[in-house]
Copies of this chain bind each other. A is one copy, B any other.
Amino acid sequence: MSPTARTVPTTSTTACAGRRAAGGRDWLERAEEALTAAGRRRGEARRAVLELLNNQACALTAIEIEDALRTQRRVSRASVYRILEELEELGLVQRVETGQAMVRYERVADQHEHHHHLVCGGCGVVMPFSDEGLERAISSLSERVPLTVSEHEIVLRGECRDCAA
């Protein structure tokens, strides 16, 4: 595979195929610290969500999170949304718009993990990918635009191999 465009096939969720987190321990620690620093108390529901997100390489919807947690620790959907909102405000989690009527959330990766998404219109699978050339184009472009760019989001849509077969 080209060194500049990598995607990882191992599936970790029905909804989002991707590798399990590498170096995710850092994120979990960082998250706990940030929450404490923000003066937040601990709570079981949030711990469960953090742990789940930490093991996820790609974006999940609130409902997928609720379902995934159902077996180990029932967390109400309202709490899932509240927790995600809180994490988003602290910059620990980001929204991903895949054009599927539901917002997806994933932990904010360090530079090394920065990626975007491929969405199959057939089965709805979401896969992460990253590309240096694309990032270069984005950052160069960001300087020529009438907006102080702080984030960017890229979604490629098409048909995955399974669906094409």
Contact = CB atoms under 8 A, between A and B. Distances in A.
Interface residues of A, number: 44
A142 B131 CA distance: 10
Interface in A126-165: 127, 129, 131, 133-134, 136-138, 140-142, 144-161, 164
Interface stretch (A2-10, A23-31, A43-51, A66-74): A2-10
Interface string A26-44: 0000000000000000000
A159 B154 contact: no
B147 A127 contact: yes
A142 to B, nearest CB: 7
A150 B158 contact: yes
Interface string A101-121: 001000000000000001011
Interface of A: 1-2, 4-5, 7, 9, 95, 97-99, 103, 118, 120-121, 127, 129, 131, 133-134, 136-138, 140-142, 144-161, 164
